[in-house]
């Protein structure tokens, strides 16, 4: 046999090697070797030594670890800076959280609440209805509805009372079997003149709807949904136990709203999303945007001479028996109303930046900011439209009335009722738009200093 080194060796490409396959049986079975179109181990090794380097990736090699630096190729893995970042965020947010708590303590109403001046609400069931003149001997065409109600609570529980309701377009249509609410003025409990039929009972269907809502949240959100429901209950508790009593006691409505919104913001976000740098970033973005909304609402309500007076506010002033800052009440409504939408935007933006960082740890803060901002543009365009439509829907009766008044569009838009809705909508939308770049910038700065983690996987429990 001639020495193999003296023989010319043909060049073999990687594709041919792959097609032929690796051989580990030698020349013991020539027919099998011809069938596999391969050579013996020595020949294969010699060809590989004289062929071009192929740089083939070993099949079972370990994957290259991802870089966790700041996104530049010349940096090695960076030391996780999460403890330092979290301490910085804590030092930044703690004074504001403390201020919100102190504000709640100082503004919390002490002593007896305001005297209840309204009529007592009692319930009953309609047992009979009869159309009749509004008063005895009345020969006019005006008709009223005499309604017999069996009282189900109150002083006259179990008794039947008869009350008269005028038949007008604005009057509800009561029928036998309806569960109704009556206003009792404190007079003779068995006299129909002491009662006024005002509305239907809606407790049962509202309770069913609330239960369906809770079930839907729990089915989709599971543990996260349960925390969201607890946070929702906490928000209502702050509103009912602090914000409303403090305003009714005569405290500055704007200060009360700022303190209440601050407590809701910190408690709800951390309760729902956990104690983390990600949540702190969302809190910071919400706080900055909420502050901007407060400043803009105060400036433009003063510039447009908004008083905050409408039919409901006028009725409230007559019931309270003491003065109240109606413009401050308007500003308080703007701040509290914008808080829920801001939470949605800031949490979404923060989560988007963190997931982008987890999917590609090589991204730097500029790349994260640019990618997060692209996501934010789509989100904010939908959120702004939602906010505008929500306010337009609430003001729809006023818009309809104004359109029938026969005055110009400019006059309608400048009216007190419509102008305050415009200020409310536009100020809230500006704060919503500002929340996207602010939150995205803070999230990008914090995320690159966090240890790179794997993208989040769907939860199973």
Domain chopping of the chain, boundaries: 4-45, 82-113+249-447, 120-203
Average confidence (pLDDT) over 235-260: 90
Average confidence (pLDDT) over 296-309: 86
Nearest one of 121, 272, 264, 137 to 201, comparing CA atoms:
121
Please tell me what DSSP assigns to residue 418.
Answer: H
pTM attached to this predicted model: 0.68
Q: What is the pLDDT of residues 362-404, one digit of tens each?
A: 888 899 999 999 988 887 877 778 777 877 787 777 777 777 7
Average confidence (pLDDT) over 161-169: 84
Give the torsion through C-alpha atoms of 182, 184, 187, 189, to 10 deg: 50
In the chain, % of residues over pLDDT 90: 26
Q: Decide: 436 and 380 in contact? Cβ < 8 Å.
A: yes
Distance, CA of 347 to CA of 279 (rounded, Å): 7
| Domains 82-113+249-447 and 120-203 alike in fold | no
Distance, CA of 300 to CA of 305 (rounded, Å): 8
The domain made up of 120-203 has a fold known as: OB fold (Dihydrolipoamide Acetyltransferase, E2P) (2.40.50)
Average confidence (pLDDT) over 98-107: 92
Q: For 82-113+249-447, which CATH class? A: mainly alpha
Q: What is the pLDDT of residues 342-373, one digit of tens each?
A: 888 899 899 999 999 888 888 888 999 999 99
Averaged pLDDT of the chain = 77
Secondary structure class of 151 (helix, strand, coil): strand
């Amino acid at each position: 046999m001639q020495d193999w080194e003296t023989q010319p060796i043909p060049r073999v490409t990687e594709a041919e090697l792959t097609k032929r396959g690796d051989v580990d049986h030698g020349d013991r079975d020539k027919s099998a070797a011809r069938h596999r179109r391969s050579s013996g181990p020595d020949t294969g090794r010699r060809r590989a030594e004289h062929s071009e380097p192929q740089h083939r990736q070993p099949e079972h090699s370990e994957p290259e670890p991802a870089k966790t630096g700041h996104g530049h190729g010349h940096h090695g893995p960076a030391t996780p800076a999460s403890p330092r970042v979290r301490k910085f965020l804590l030092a930044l947010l703690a004074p504001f959280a403390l201020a919100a708590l102190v504000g709640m303590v100082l503004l919390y109403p002490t002593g007896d609440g305001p005297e209840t001046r309204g009529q007592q609400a009692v319930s009953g069931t309609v047992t009979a209805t009869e159309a009749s003149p509004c008063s005895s001997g009345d020969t006019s065409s005006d008709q009223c509805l005499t309604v017999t109600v069996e009282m189900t609570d109150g002083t006259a529980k179990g008794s039947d009372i008869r009350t008269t309701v005028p038949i007008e377009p604005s009057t509800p249509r009561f029928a036998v079997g309806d569960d109704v609410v009556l206003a009792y003025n404190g007079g003779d409990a068995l006299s129909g003149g002491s009662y006024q039929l005002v509305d239907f009972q809606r407790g049962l269907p509202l309770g069913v709807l609330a239960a369906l809502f809770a079930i839907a949240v729990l089915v989709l959100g599971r543990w996260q949904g349960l925390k969201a429901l607890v946070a929702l209950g906490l928000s209502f508790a702050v509103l009912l136990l602090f914000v409303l009593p403090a305003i009714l006691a005569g405290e500055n409505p704007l200060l009360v709203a700022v303190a209440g919104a601050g407590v809701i913001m910190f408690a709800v976000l951390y309760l729902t999303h956990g104690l983390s740098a990600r949540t702190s970033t969302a809190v910071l973005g919400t706080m900055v945007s909420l502050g901007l909304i407060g400043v803009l609402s105060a400036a433009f309500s003063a510039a447009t001479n908004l008083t905050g007076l409408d039919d409901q506010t006028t009725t409230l002033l007559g019931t309270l028996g003491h003065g109240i800052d109606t413009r401050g009440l308007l500003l308080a409504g703007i701040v509290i109303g914008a808080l829920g939408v801001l939470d949605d935007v800031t949490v979404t933006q923060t989560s988007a930046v963190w997931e982008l960082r987890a999917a590609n740890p090589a991204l730097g803060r500029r790349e994260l900011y640019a990618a997060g901002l692209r996501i934010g543009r789509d989100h904010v365009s939908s959120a702004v439209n939602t906010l505008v439509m929500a306010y337009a829907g609430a003001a729809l009766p006023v818009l309809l009335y104004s359109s029938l008044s026969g005055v110009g569009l400019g006059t309608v838009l400048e009216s007190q009722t419509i102008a305050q809705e415009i200020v409310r909508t536009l100020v809230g939308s500006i704060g919503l738009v500002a929340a996207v770049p602010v939150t995205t910038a803070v999230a990008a700065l914090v995320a690159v200093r966090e240890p790179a983690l794997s993208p989040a996987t769907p939860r199973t429990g």
